[in-house]
Amino acid sequence: MLLRLPAELVARIALHLLDSQPFYPPRALNSLRLTCQSLRQLLDSKHFKGKAFGVCFDVGSVGRRNFVADTGMRADQFEVWSRTVRSISEKDVNEDEPGDHAPFTLLTTYPWDIGETFLQAYVMLLSNDGKNIAQLEHAGLYLLLRAYLKKYLYKGELLDKGWPVESLENSCALWLLWMMTTEERLSKESLEEKEELVSMILPWVMVPFRYSSAHAPPSHYTLPLDQHGQSRQRYNLPHTVTTAHGHYPIYGPAVLPAPTSQAIVNLPYTRGNYLDVSYFGTRCIFSAPPPSIAAKLLYFSRRRVGFQIPPHLPATRAEAIRRAQEAWEREQRENGRVIGENGVVWDGRMPIGPTKEDMVDLNAHQSTELPMRSSWYAGWNGLDALTAPPSRWWDNDYYRSRYCYNVFLDNARRGGDVYTPGMLDGLWQGRMLIPSEHILRSILTSPRLPADPNARVEGQPDYLAEVTSALPLIMRLGEYHWLDGSRRRKDRTRLTMQQPLEDRLKALHQEAAEPGGIARCAKKVNRIDEGMGNAWFPHGTDFAVDNDDIHVRSPPSDFVAPMPSQYQIRNVVPSLYEKCHATESNSHDPEHCAKCLKREVKMQTRRRALAAENEKAIAQRLGSDEVERIFESVGLGRTQDSILEMDVDGDEDGEDWKDVDSEDDEDGDEVIQEDDPLIAPPCHGVRDVLIHGSSDLPHALAWHPFVFRGRVRPWDGLVGILRVSKNGAFTDTFFYGYVVGGKNFVGNWRNVGAEMDAGVPAWEGAFSMSKRE
């Protein structure tokens, strides 16, 4: 009876069955597949699998980030992600017998590439709009991750001198565990389980000279590095020093491999932090971000207990002022002075310190927000049109994973931003860990993980004391942008649309390089330091705030003296950085923007190619003479050379273009390549991001007045902020890290000063902040 229906209707019925039970294994479809050969062929067809992909998995992010996936691409990815879910669900992890008692092994009768499986699961969560995480939850990924970390993170033969290995598998495991962390899971974790996880991840949190803290060392601002035309085996690497834990600064396994351990040489670990994996019918390289970032997020989410409120603190700021005034008056009387006479009047000065009110306010805000959760969205069209897809929060992380795995890789062709302009604007609050400097120094000189005084237990870390203290961290940050083709810049290059595109591009690049353009980063010192001690600005840089703008004066590029004089700085043409307003558009002018003009060149090139292909296709069908006669009849003969001009002046967004030679599916999906300019996101004109801010008055009175300045590294979106004490009571501190999932600013801090050497390990600790307002 079923076979009497049209194939399209049968496929629709099968899709409804799949929608009723979309998780692996799809029992309803398996039963239907076994019915007869005709149904098996229909369910195994690319057309059906392409439709089934939209039922079981999320597809929206790939079209926003890369290309429009046709039915064949979706069918291929349906196979890939179904295999990933199947591999995870077939691991025998007993929830009632966690840890070493669980019947769980890496290698079973079913071949399991653990690195690719975990990496594909990470890509699924980066692309999650509700369905992907539901599939992974149903497959039992969270239990598998806990079992994996317990059994294999500290397995004897998989360690390097007692330390866990920074492998692709371990990196993905930590990131997946963080991305699947929920309030419900945290509330169900016992104190023993929390402490067990903290002890396992502590090396990544506390030892910055052994594990990478960024995709490239923070001493670099200008990336990618230059290979000087040499082969992969003969990189002209920047200077590094050798410590007991390997090379420092840490450039990652793709550049400078760490000391090879037996765990890396043998299975199951993957050499390097990236793999070439299947992705919608193509092969793409994806990398796992530094595991230390995920470890810090896991750590701070398990250390969410508020600060204790000392009973001796004043209740409010008014009481603190009254106490300070009374103490001053008492001191004056003890010294024999009469208050109100001979100028003996309290000037309002008071010691900086928190009140109980400040402590309550501090504890009301968490330093680390958990990943955004999304529910299963019914229907084949995915999210409601009015709902912002949750995967947008992970767009920056996705592009970092795709393009920032090698410091020699030029990622200029990427289709999106590794940092979204405007993200840092606002009030951020969190915590910074102050590790024991004595313990850090002792670990630095010892290659082995410190031994536990008690007997070692297989599968458990040896010993690493959590000797740290936590301090509040509050920053009011403002974001300022240097814009390509800004309408507000008076000295911008005068261009006309009649000029060739190449000439306009050359003029705009010259404008950005000359004084008044982008503030140049400091010159390299010892081949690695680009001004990390001054937030990647040259020493002597002057910042002048003018209403909503900042005028930046940096020393001339040819300046060689240790410190520039104020006279030399005053003669420098300032760079104009405009304030970012979340609710207002900036002064970006596409007609004077180098990126927009480059895109226009690419669009013209593509349209010329499409026009030539279309003409060739028509010629093959009608004959070249007939085609020429048709074109001449409308004034578009070859001699007039106007066919290309017609294409260039066509649809500006390219949405109506169709390649007649492409094999369109029944939905009419157009296949657009990843580097296609027509799929690129709109240009915002931001070429350089400057961070500038200071402590709000209540926070300055409670925790000390600070000023902040910094930049965002264009290559990977690494944020660098220098915190300076207004009265010099604290050493300058450089904070560097990433905005993860659009919500948490997490990374490391290190003290800086005149004697700072970016090329050697320093006193360094972790921090995590989330946006408060």
For 41-58, write each residue's pLDDT tens digit: 888 889 889 999 988 999
- Average pLDDT, rounded, for the chain: 79
Q: What angle do CA 688, 691, 695 make, to 5 degrees?
A: 175
Q: How far apart are CA 527 and CA 544, in angstroms?
A: 30
| Mean pLDDT to the nearest integer, 63-88 | 90
Over the stretch 361-406, which tens digit does the pLDDT of each residue have? Answer: 999 998 899 998 776 654 334 445 446 788 999 999 999 999 998 8
When mean pLDDT is compared across 568-572, 634-638, 706-710, the lowest value belongs to 634-638
Burial label, 720 (beta-carbon count in 10 A; 0-12, 13-18, 19+): buried
Question: What's the pLDDT score for residue 251?
Answer: 84
Question: What's the pLDDT score for residue 630?
Answer: 58
Has residue 671 got a pLDDT over 70? no
* DSSP classification of residue 638: G
**Alpha helices (runs of H) in 57-158, residue ranges in sequence order:** 60-65, 71-89, 114-126, 131-139, 141-152
Phi, psi of 652 (to 5 degrees): -65, -40
Hey, is 754 helix, strand or coil?
coil
**Alpha helices (runs of H) in 634-718, residue ranges in sequence order:** 643-648, 697-703
Has residue 128 got a pLDDT over 50? yes
Give the number of other Cβ atoms within 10 Å of residue 264's Cβ: 19
When mean pLDDT is compared across 71-85, 280-294, 599-613, 748-762, the lowest value belongs to 599-613
Give the number of other Cβ atoms within 10 Å of residue 185's Cβ: 14
Burial label, 237 (beta-carbon count in 10 A; 0-12, 13-18, 19+): middle
The amino acid occupying position 368 is T
Question: What's the pLDDT score for residue 685?
Answer: 87
Question: What's the pLDDT score for residue 508?
Answer: 79
Question: What's the pLDDT score for residue 490?
Answer: 65
CB 532 within 8 A of CB 632: no
Q: How far apart are CA 142 and CA 394, in angstroms?
A: 20
CB 147 within 8 A of CB 99: yes
Question: Does residue 226 or residue 35 have the better pLDDT?
Answer: 35
Q: Where are the domains of the chain?
A: 317-353, 471-591+683-771, 594-679
Q: How far apart are CA 66 and CA 47, in angstroms?
A: 21
When mean pLDDT is compared across 158-172, 398-412, 509-523, the lowest value belongs to 509-523
Residue of 251, 262, 294 lying closest to 163 (CA atoms): 262
Give the pairing type, strands 719-725 and 733-740. antiparallel
Has residue 474 got a pLDDT over 80? yes
Q: What angle do CA 92, 94, 97 make, to 5 degrees?
A: 140
**What's the Rg (C-alpha) of the chain?**
30
Q: Sign of torsion, CA 550 556 562 563?
A: negative
Hey, is 486 helix, strand or coil?
strand
| Mean pLDDT to the nearest integer, 301-313 | 91
pTM of the entire structure?
0.86
Question: What's the pLDDT score for residue 624?
Answer: 61
Has residue 772 got a pLDDT over 50? yes
Has residue 232 got a pLDDT over 50? no
| Mean pLDDT to the nearest integer, 157-179 | 90
Please, which residues have CB within 8 angstroms of residue 264's CB and are 6 or more apart in sequence? 160, 165, 167, 271
